[in-house]
């Protein structure tokens, strides 16, 4: 079985705008950072993130499934592809190899690849050979004979002994009897040679692509009516929700793709605030979107894809009490129906954030069930808080007392009641500026506002701002 081994990521801890330029100036893999920086002044050093190599190779491997269904990961920087019966689809092994290498290089990776009968031979050629990346059938011996013993992936102590004894290439090892090599260097050396030459099968764990949450419904006759589209959606949801329920998952976002007989595709989407596999609830959301589907001469294929799912915890039902609060499924379904009419961006839930300034003390919740990391502050805050405080003109009888009137957008407000100040210090680790003194004030019309003075009253750059409105 021919194998192609692609090396999309060089084993480097030093990354620059161009690794080839860095190497040409004297910075190589394995160098000390100080020495590399001395060689290349523009060098950018990035610390290795544990597990990042596997994540990157897995994503690249999933992308290579388009070339072959069998892909293996060889950490830290290689992919092995079993290309038996695949190369002819690209016009032969040479075109097949060029397609993979050019694809990886276009994505920004410094890639090399080789094709051989065994993974070990392909590994050796791609890492240590300079020419002839395609090895003919049965040509492993000639391909690896001139390569150093390190191309066999041997242990460091074995390589040290081979170097001391003068074995500069694999060809010298192939001339010796197996009993001699076993006695001097152990069974591991013979195993690597046999794997490279195809005498011993080498086993790898193939990469398993995730199974998408998707359902297809082809139609015998083109669907042109809203009733027909609704029936198709209900059939797709029944199959999809049955699988989601069996796996304990809930749908958060889904796309319905409708392929028309004129070759065009129309699609609609729904999203939920909480994972759900309720057919009736999801069907109500899709009914709001049916009017957006233009069947034209008819739809011949429906595809329902759940692009975002999340685990659902099984709720214990109580016969004597009602579930209330954010855990109530009815509340989540109501919010989904409202979002389907006015848009999901119109419904937002906020959680407290560990910040001092009021406009930064809240953050958007990722879901309806997300718990706050800290408790809400007990201080009284306005119902409507301005995203950016607006400047106002203020008159105060005594500089450090509450204001007696303020002018906002040309309108004069006479203050009859006031409470404060509440001092909030600046966030010294991120921001520059002054502290704030907040006042709750009420004008002669009964409207209440939240004003603050930035800086101390006797400072020359103190300014007043309107920050919110109370009910």
Checking if the pLDDT of 323 tops 60, the result is no
- The predicted model scores a pTM of 0.48
pLDDT average, residue stretch 321-334: 69
Per DSSP, which regions of 344-447 are E strands? 350-352, 362-364, 384-395, 405-408, 411-424, 436-443
pLDDT at 156: 86
pLDDT at 177: 86
Largest CA distance in the chain: 105
- Phi/psi region, residue 356 (left: phi>0; alpha: psi -120 to 50; beta: rest), is alpha
Domains of the chain: 3-197 (no CATH), 214-316+326-338 (3.30.1490.100), 384-469 (no CATH)
List b or e across 136-166, with b for residues whose CB sees 16 or more CB atoms inside 10 angstroms: eeeebeebbeebbbbbbbbeeebbebbeeee
Residues 6+ apart with CB under 8 A from 416: 442, 443, 444
CA 433 to chain CA centroid, nearest Å: 36
pLDDT at 288: 93
**Burial bucket for residue 210 (CB in 10 Å: 0-12, 13-18, 19+):** exposed
295 contacts 224 by C-beta, under 8 angstroms: yes
Positive/negative CA dihedral, 435, 441, 443, 446 = positive
Strands 463-469 and 249-260: unpaired
Tokens 């020419």 correspond to 131
Angle at 310 between CA 305 and CA 312, to 5 degrees: 120
Residues 6+ apart with CB under 8 A from 294: 266
pLDDT at 431: 61
CA 76 to chain CA centroid, nearest Å: 20
> How far apart (Å, rounded) are the C-alpha atoms in residues 322 and 132?
73
What DSSP string runs through 102-134? HHHHHTT---EEEEESSHHHHHHHHHH--S--B
Checking if the pLDDT of 17 tops 50, the result is no
Confidence of residue 317 (pLDDT cuts 50, 70, 90): low
Checking if the pLDDT of 19 tops 70, the result is no
**188-210 pLDDT, tens per residue?**
888 888 888 888 888 888 887 77
Checking if the pLDDT of 310 tops 80, the result is yes
Strand partners, 406: 394, 413
Helix (H) or strand (E) holding 19: helix 19-24
Checking if the pLDDT of 238 tops 90, the result is yes
pLDDT average, residue stretch 2-17: 40
> How far apart (Å, rounded) are the C-alpha atoms in residues 5 and 328?
53
C-alpha torsion angle, residues 37, 38, 41, 42 (rounded to 10): -20
Relative orientation angle of helices 178-185 and 187-197, to the nearest 10 degrees: 130
Tokens 């050796």 correspond to 124
- Look up residue 97 and give its two tokens: 């190899």
**86-136 pLDDT, tens per residue?**
888 888 888 888 888 888 888 888 888 888 888 888 888 888 886 788 888
**41-97 pLDDT, tens per residue?**
777 777 777 888 888 888 888 888 888 888 888 887 888 888 888 888 888 888 888
pLDDT average, residue stretch 314-335: 64
Q: How many CA atoms lie within 13 A of 225 on its CB side?
A: 4
pLDDT average, residue stretch 240-248: 91
**129-173 pLDDT, tens per residue?**
867 888 888 888 888 888 888 888 888 888 888 888 888 888 888
Checking if the pLDDT of 9 tops 50, the result is no
> How far apart (Å, rounded) are the C-alpha atoms in residues 248 and 356?
40
pLDDT at 15: 31
Strands 411-424 and 463-469: unpaired
Does the bond joining 421 to the residue before it have cis omega, within 30 degrees of 0? yes
Does the bond joining 76 to the residue before it have cis omega, within 30 degrees of 0? yes
Checking if the pLDDT of 316 tops 60, the result is no
Distances (CA, A) of 145 to 126, 152, 192: 14, 11, 14
- Look up residue 95 and give its two tokens: 């075109």
**247-291 pLDDT, tens per residue?**
889 999 999 999 999 989 999 999 998 899 999 999 999 999 999
Residue 269 backbone phi and psi in degrees, to 5? -135, 150
CA 162 to chain CA centroid, nearest Å: 45
Tokens 């040679």 correspond to 193
Confidence of residue 3 (pLDDT cuts 50, 70, 90): very low
300 contacts 260 by C-beta, under 8 angstroms: yes
Distances (CA, A) of 292 to 219, 235, 287, 295, 378: 20, 19, 10, 10, 46
When the pLDDT of each residue in the chain is averaged and rounded to a whole number, the result is 83
pLDDT at 324: 60
Q: Where are the alpha helices (DSSP H) in 203-342?
A: 226-246, 279-287, 329-342
Residues 6+ apart with CB under 8 A from 461: 434, 455
Helix (H) or strand (E) holding 181: helix 178-185
Query: Which range, 57-71, 222-236, 343-357, has the best average confidence (pLDDT)?
Result: 222-236
């Amino acid at each position: 079985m021919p194998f192609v081994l692609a090396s999309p990521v060089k084993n480097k801890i030093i990354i620059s705008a161009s690794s080839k330029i860095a190497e040409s100036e004297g910075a190589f893999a394995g160098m000390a950072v100080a020495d590399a920086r001395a060689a290349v002044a523009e060098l950018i050093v990035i610390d290795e993130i544990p597990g990042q190599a596997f994540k990157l190779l897995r994503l690249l491997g999933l992308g290579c499934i388009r070339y072959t269904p069998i892909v293996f990961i060889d950490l830290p920087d290689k992919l092995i592809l079993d290309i038996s019966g695949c190369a002819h689809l690209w016009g032969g092994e040479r075109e097949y190899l060029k397609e993979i290498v050019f694809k990886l290089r276009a994505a920004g990776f410094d890639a090399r690849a080789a094709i051989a009968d065994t993974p070990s031979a392909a590994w050796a050629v791609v890492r240590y050979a300079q020419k002839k990346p395609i090895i003919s059938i049965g040509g492993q011996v000639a391909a690896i004979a001139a390569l150093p013993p390190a191309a066999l992936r041997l242990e460091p102590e074995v390589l040290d002994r081979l170097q001391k004894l003068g074995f500069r290439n694999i060809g010298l090892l192939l001339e010796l009897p197996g009993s001699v090599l076993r006695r001097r260097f152990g069974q591991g050396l013979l195993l690597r040679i046999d794997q490279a030459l195809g005498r011993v099968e080498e086993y790898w764990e193939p990469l398993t692509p995730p199974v998408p949450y998707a359902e297809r419904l082809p139609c015998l006759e083109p669907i042109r009516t809203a009733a027909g589209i609704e029936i198709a959606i209900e059939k797709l949801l029944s199959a999809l929700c049955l699988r989601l329920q069996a796996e304990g998952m809930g749908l958060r976002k889904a796309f319905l793709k409708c392929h028309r007989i004129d070759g065009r595709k129309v699609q609609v989407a729904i999203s939920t605030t909480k994972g759900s596999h309720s057919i009736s609830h999801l069907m109500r959301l899709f009914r709001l979107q049916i009017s957006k589907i233009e069947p034209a001469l008819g739809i011949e294929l429906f595809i329902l894809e759940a692009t975002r799912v999340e685990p659902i915890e099984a709720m214990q039902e109580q016969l004597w009490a009602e579930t209330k609060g954010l855990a109530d499924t009815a509340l989540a379904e109501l919010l989904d129906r409202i979002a389907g009419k006015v848009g999901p961006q119109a419904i937002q839930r906020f959680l407290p954030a560990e910040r001092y300034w009021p406009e930064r003390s809240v953050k958007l919740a990722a879901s309806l069930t997300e718990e706050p990391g800290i408790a809400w502050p007990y201080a009284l805050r306005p119902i409507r808080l301005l995203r950016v405080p607006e400047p106002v003109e203020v008159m105060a009888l005594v500089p450090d007392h509450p204001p007696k009137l303020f002018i906002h957008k040309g309108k004069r407000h006479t203050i009859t009641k006031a409470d404060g100040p509440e001092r909030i210090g600046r966030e010294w680790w991120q921001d520059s500026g002054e502290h704030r003194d907040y006042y709750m004030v009420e004008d002669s019309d009964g409207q209440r506002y939240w004003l603050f003075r930035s800086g101390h009253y006797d400072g020359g750059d103190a300014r007043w701002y309107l920050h919110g409105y109370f009910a």
